[in-house]
Structure 1
Amino acid sequence: MSKEIMAVVAGHEITRDEFNEFVQRMPQQQQAYASNPQFQGQILQQLIDMYLFQKKAEEDKLEETEEFKQVLESVKADLLSRMAMTKVIQAVTVSEEEKKAFYEENKAQFGQQATASAKHILTDTEEECLKAAAQIEAGEKTFEEAAKEYSTCPSKAQGGDLGTFGKGQMVKEFEDAVFNGELNKVLGPVKTQFGYHLIKVSDVTEAKTAAYEEVKDQVEGMALQKKQQEEFEAVATELANKYGVEKK
């Protein structure tokens, strides 16, 4: 706790603690500038102005107006409801058993999909595709050289390299050939809606599920969020039954 006094306005002492609390309520992107002396000066001036205009409001007896009373009631209702919601949510915890149960029920969310790394040559006709395949087979051209000469895909500039991709990212015919074909062999022609492909797969990584210990923190966060939402909805239903709700 810092009792350092930064300014005094109409007898009110603005301390370093109050200043820091004011900064914490500001948008995150503005808080990043909190260590800047010029920014601190601007924030301090905002606090000073706030207390000065509060004094003016008191002089003008604005707290006695209906507008002020209505706003005050609205702010009070909002603040109290937020505090009550926070209290309900913060009371929720998840046990180790609940975390493990959540993991078992949602294993698919913690999996790593199958991926493949491949190159391809795309042509408009099967004849062109077979011609490229024959030249590669005869050793007249490498796969990469044939891609640069025959392929109509922009990947031709990289020798047909498509990089690494997961299941579901390519059309079915292409994907089936990639994930079921032999590594480092020229596959095809494979016909798709885009034309005819020669494919060379360099690597395939099988799908796998991460072990519980590997994703324990992620599981805890997701399980807690789910339980908090369930508790929130349960309390909201209980309150609706207790006090009554009628939508019109």
Structure 2
Amino acid sequence: MENLVLAKVNGKEITQKDVDFFLNTLGPEQAAQFGNPEGMKQLLQEIINQELLYFEAVEDKLSETQAFEEELERLKGHILKTLKIREIFEGIDVTDEEVNEYYESNKARFEKPAQVKASHILVKSEDEGLEVLKRLEDGEAFGEVAKAVSTCPSKEKGGDLGYFGKGQMVPEFEAAAFDLSVGERSGLVQTQFGYHVIELTDKKEPEATSLEEIKPRIQQDIVTRKQAQAYQDKVSALRTKYPVETY
């Protein structure tokens, strides 16, 4: 793909790759802000501004100043440290045996929690709730009553809330829903939102996540642990090689 020249500053070309590189140095929010044609034009102008500053800095011989030498030394130190850490981490890998052992030892961490699927009818007062219970006891379909009187947006789906796990609903609602058996209906359940009648339509018991699903995460966990250990081992050895004094 052709690297399109977008501008020249004092004879130096600024290309599309330069703009793309600049965009990639931004944080996610800024990148999203400038990742459009108008934003790219603004980035190009900023690159031009920085090149203008660069040429004047060269003309002013800032590279011959003490401040430049100090900054260069700091940058050199940072680069060398980064390269050394990269060297320490080279060759760290993860075997299938390690992945399997980690999975078997940590199955509880990867377990999919229990979920329930429920529908509900929400009304404002206890009297309205009692009327809902009477209509249901008289044989009216739960979904039809929900559509007729519920104040929750779920009324459009007959009160269906879909699947949810613990911690996703207010405590009173959660406790009542998880205490029901499939097909069972609650009495009135009061929460900060009003009065609910809940019907449990399905329940999923906790289940283990398969090794294939979780393998990339396990590999990353092991690599991170090995890197941390390799780093600690290295700096511990270096503390015996070079004197360290703290004040």
Going from structure 1 to structure 2, the CA distance change for 1:120 and 1:246 (only over 3 Å counts) comes to farther
Match of 2:143 in 1: 144
* 2:19–2:44 Cα contact (<8 Å) kept: no
Q: How does 1:33-182 map to 2 (within 5 A)?
A: 56=59, 62-123=62-123, 127-139=127-139, 141-148=140-147, 150-151=149-150, 153-155=151-153, 157-158=155-156, 159-182=158-181
The CA deviation string for residues 204-229 of structure 1, in whole angstroms up to 9 with x for no partner, is 22221112133222221222122212
Residue 220 of structure 1 pairs with residue 223 of structure 2: no
* Distance in 2 (alpha carbons) for counterparts of 1:193 and 1:46: 57
Q: CA deviation at 1:78?
A: 0.8
Amino acid of the residue matched to residue 143 of structure 1?
F
Amino acid of the residue matched to residue 64 of structure 2?
E
> With structure 1 as the length reference, what TM-score do the two structures score?
0.70
Residue 202 of structure 1 pairs with residue 201 of structure 2: yes
* 1:115–1:167 Cα contact (<8 Å) kept: yes
* 2:154–2:161 Cα contact (<8 Å) kept: no
What is the number of equivalent residue pairs in this alignment? 238
| Structure 2 alignment gaps of length 5 or more | 3-8
> With structure 2 as the length reference, what TM-score do the two structures score?
0.70
* Distance in 2 (alpha carbons) for counterparts of 1:81 and 1:160: 59
Amino acid of the residue matched to residue 59 of structure 2?
K
Going from structure 1 to structure 2, the CA distance change for 1:22 and 1:238 (only over 3 Å counts) comes to farther
Match of 2:210 in 1: 211
Match of 1:183 in 2: 182
CA RMSD of aligned residues (A): 4.3
SS of equivalent residue, structure 2 residue 120? strand
* 1:136–1:143 Cα contact (<8 Å) kept: yes
* 1:114–1:166 Cα contact (<8 Å) kept: yes
* Distance in 2 (alpha carbons) for counterparts of 1:205 and 1:173: 20
* Distance in 2 (alpha carbons) for counterparts of 1:247 and 1:157: 67
The CA deviation string for residues 58-84 of structure 1, in whole angstroms up to 9 with x for no partner, is 5xxx44321121111111111111111
Q: CA deviation at 1:193?
A: 6.0
Q: CA deviation at 1:50?
A: 8.6
The CA deviation string for residues 172-203 of structure 1, in whole angstroms up to 9 with x for no partner, is 44334323423233222345565543211222
SS of equivalent residue, structure 1 residue 179? helix
Q: CA deviation at 1:240?
A: 3.7
Match of 1:27 in 2: 25
* 2:147–2:155 Cα contact (<8 Å) kept: yes
Going from structure 1 to structure 2, the CA distance change for 1:81 and 1:123 (only over 3 Å counts) comes to same
The CA deviation string for residues 101-121 of structure 1, in whole angstroms up to 9 with x for no partner, is 222333234332222221112
* Distance in 2 (alpha carbons) for counterparts of 1:38 and 1:173: 54
Going from structure 1 to structure 2, the CA distance change for 1:154 and 1:196 (only over 3 Å counts) comes to closer
Amino acid of the residue matched to residue 65 of structure 2?
T
* Distance in 2 (alpha carbons) for counterparts of 1:46 and 1:104: 57
Percent same amino acid at aligned positions?
32
Q: CA deviation at 1:27?
A: 1.9
Going from structure 1 to structure 2, the CA distance change for 1:193 and 1:238 (only over 3 Å counts) comes to farther
* 1:155–1:161 Cα contact (<8 Å) kept: no
Amino acid of the residue matched to residue 71 of structure 2?
V
* Distance in 1 (alpha carbons) for counterparts of 2:169 and 2:124: 18
Amino acid of the residue matched to residue 167 of structure 2?
G
SS of equivalent residue, structure 1 residue 184? coil
Going from structure 1 to structure 2, the CA distance change for 1:244 and 1:99 (only over 3 Å counts) comes to farther
Going from structure 1 to structure 2, the CA distance change for 1:20 and 1:64 (only over 3 Å counts) comes to same
